[in-house]
Amino acid sequence: MNRIARTCAMLASLVAAPFAATAQDWTPPGPITLMIGFAAGGGADTQARLVASGVEDKTGWTILPQQVTGNSGLNLAKELSTAPADGTVIGMVVSETLAYNAVIAGDPALQAENFTPLATTAAFQMGLIAVADGRFSTWDKVKAEAEAGTPIRFGVATERQADMAYHFGLETGIPFNIVSVAGGAEIMNGVRAGDLDIGWVAGAQAKAVTAGELVNIATAIPTPLAESPDAPSIVDLGSEFYLDGYFMFIAPKDIPEEARVALAQAIADVASDPNTQAGALIQRSFGGAAVLTGAELDAYIAKGVQDSSQLLEAIK
């Protein structure tokens, strides 16, 4: 009976899949390993773990979170690329891992086409920050200081941010001194301590901006920043590209379509429901969920890969 039922279910799913696969069609064949590409205890790690427990509550699946950090998410990509493609191993990274970082690393095994993007949860609230009452608190002041010959120290946290800062400098005619540090929090500390003048921060600056301590002198994403809706965008100021990105879940290449749909839907539901702990965190830190799935997400990643190649070309 059981076997017949299972066969029926399988047949049903095979028939249904091409049209509209839904969450009910698929249950994982075992516990799901969730690789987290961020340092334990940080904001992104917390988000990943809360989404995992939200999905567990919602679906009854078992999810085992595990840290696979290092190399800007590429260590995770490497490990995920050889994991079983049955929906039992997924990972959380940022979109630039599959786009910019994969392109620059050049390893064919790590390129975006070797992975299945599942769902994004939140978009970077990327701003160019400075101390609110300092010498660099508006773009005009930055330009004036640069014209006066002051070296401007620009804090960045990833390779892509560094290259974007360089590109931004080329387009605006300001030769920034680009300083790589460990993360957004460290950029904020550097700006506060006077070790840095300006820098990219992807959302952690929200509270300090609201409190009037720091200021977003420009936005690096296509949509206005929640705390600083009037900040000019870097594209208005001369850049050819935005520095946007998402937190996202990915799976190995060629996982069954129904698994992709079920996983993506479960993650998306948890992330966009502010009543879950994950949803509340995303609401607090990023002003709400930003969910892309399926073809829309594939297209975003493809655009990201294309932009990355163009950026690399532009700064050659």
Q: Does 216 bind another protein (CB under 8 A)?
A: no
Q: Does 82 bind another protein (CB under 8 A)?
A: no
Q: Does 72 bind another protein (CB under 8 A)?
A: yes
Q: Does 272 bind another protein (CB under 8 A)?
A: no
Q: Does 83 bind another protein (CB under 8 A)?
A: no
> Site for another protein (CB under 8 A): which residue of 27, 69, 223, 309?
69
Q: Does 145 bind another protein (CB under 8 A)?
A: no
Q: Does 125 bind another protein (CB under 8 A)?
A: no
If the CB atoms of residues 43 and 245 are measured against another protein, the closer one turns out to be 43
If the CB atoms of residues 213 and 298 are measured against another protein, the closer one turns out to be 213
> What is the contact mask toward another protein in residues 94 to 123, using x (rule: CB under 8 A)?
-------x--xx------------------
Q: Does 70 bind another protein (CB under 8 A)?
A: yes
Q: Does 42 bind another protein (CB under 8 A)?
A: yes
If the CB atoms of residues 207 and 253 are measured against another protein, the closer one turns out to be 207
Question: DSSP readout, the chain?
Answer: -HHHHHHHHHHHHHHHHHHH--GGG---SSPEEEEE-S-TTSHHHHHHHHHHHHHHHHH---EEEEE---GGGHHHHHHHHTS-SSSSEEEEEEHHIIIIIHHHH--GGGSGGGEEEEEEEEE---EEEEETTSTTSSHHHHHHHHHTT---EEEESSHHHHHHHHHHHHHHT---EEEE-S-HHHHHHHHHHTS-SEEEESSTTHHHHHTTSEEEEEE-SSSPPSS-TTSPBTTTTT-SS----EEEEEEETT--HHHHHHHHHHHHHHHH-TTSHHHHHHHHHHSS----BHHHHHHHHHHHHHHHHHHHHHT-
> What is the contact mask toward another protein in residues 170 to 209, using x (rule: CB under 8 A)?
-----x-xxxxxx---x--xx-xxxxx----------xx-
